[in-house]
Amino acid sequence: MSTFDNATADRPIGLTAPSGIDRAAHHRLDEAWLAAAWSHPTTRVFVVSGGQVLIDDTTDGTELVMTPAFEAPVTETHRYFLGTDEGGVSYFALQKDSLPGRMDQSARPAGLREAGLLLGARDAGLMVHAVALENWQRLHRFCSRCGERTVIAAAGHIRRCQACGAEHYPRTDPAVIMLVTDDQDRALLGRQVHWPEGRFSTLAGFVEPGESIEQSVAREVFEEAGITVGEVEYIASQPWPFPSSLMLGFMARATTYEINVDGEEIEEARWFSREELTAAFESGEILPPFGISIAARLIEIWYGKPLPKPVRAS
């Protein structure tokens, strides 16, 4: 019996809830507008460094640590305009080599896997945008056409080569992630070779050049687990800036059932009924994926209820 229509399916996927932020891309090349926005007293700024930001637990919940622009650390070029909210407040991120300290000592550094579960929709949306830009900026400092150093433009959303004139834009790599079920409505879960013992999740992989996403689902499942699939149903997408992916989530129906893992990406894969997965969770034999990931939500849609909270490996 399928449970794809249960209430769990309606819960928002992490990092995809409406943030209330208008990215206002039409302002990115307007230097006068950007300068005015930066100097406005309502503008809010936060620092991103190595994929981390400062967060603070308040009486209203966990929030990004943001300051007015005049209190922000100095940076000459790595200032990224992220957008405006309905009240006209502008938001910027600053890329720095390290996070600033806080005199009150109440803030703490956090990456997206932790902060994404704690922050509200606005702050999570701002953070995922900033982390994605920072990752791209750090890895693409030179022109892929001529090899010369590039400079930042469009408020952090373009790198421009002054030698050959080429413009380079943030890349997004499409990746498919899928929960495969069989004719008994069991779910196929696998463990990657570098994961801790007991950590199981959905299968996933990158879309190759000249390939449709449906073809990618079928290829990745066969390559990783030796299973062929027929029907493929799109569920939802999720930005995943580790460093630059867009996860495209699917349910897929298997047409063969004998597992043959590749041994390179997937070390072990198993079919689970809901009862078997519940027992494995309760015994600690199986560790669920982290709740922020679309993988967790795909499993929940099939499972029919929220997964247990995972324990982060040390």
pLDDT digits (tens, 9 = 90+) for 175-185: 999 999 999 99
- Predicted confidence at residue 314, as pLDDT, reads 38
- Predicted confidence at residue 313, as pLDDT, reads 44
- Predicted confidence at residue 290, as pLDDT, reads 80
- One-letter identity of residue 36: A
**Do 260 and 226 touch, CB atoms closer than 8 A?**
yes
- Predicted confidence at residue 8, as pLDDT, reads 55
Rounded mean pLDDT, 7-23 = 80
Share of the chain above pLDDT 90, in %: 82
Quickly count: other Cβ atoms within 10 Å of residue 61's Cβ: 11
Mean pLDDT computed over every residue of the chain: 92
Which comes out higher in pLDDT, residue 30 or 1?
30
Rounded mean pLDDT, 202-212 = 97
Convert the chain into a string of H (helix), E (strand) and C (coil): CCCCCCHHHHCCCCCCCCCCCECCHHHCCCHHHHHHHHHCCCCEEEEEECCEEEEEEECCEEEECCEEHHHCCCCCCCEEEEEECCCCCEEEEEECCCCCCCCCCCCEEEEHHHHHHHECHHHHHHHHHHHHHHHHHHHCCECCCCCCEEEEEHHHCEEEECCCCCEECCCCEEEEEEEEECCCCCEEEEEECCCCCCECECEEEECCCCCCHHHHHHHHHHHHHCCCEEEEEEEEEEEECCCCEEEEEEEEEECCCCCCCCCCCEEEEEEECHHHHHHHHHHCCCECCCCCCHHHHHHHHHHCCCCCCCCCCC
Distance separating alpha carbons of residues 86 and 143, to the nearest angstrom: 37
Rounded mean pLDDT, 71-82 = 87
Question: Is 80 exceeded by the pLDDT of residue 104?
Answer: no
Residue 14: band (very low, low, confident or very high) from pLDDT cuts 50, 70, 90: confident
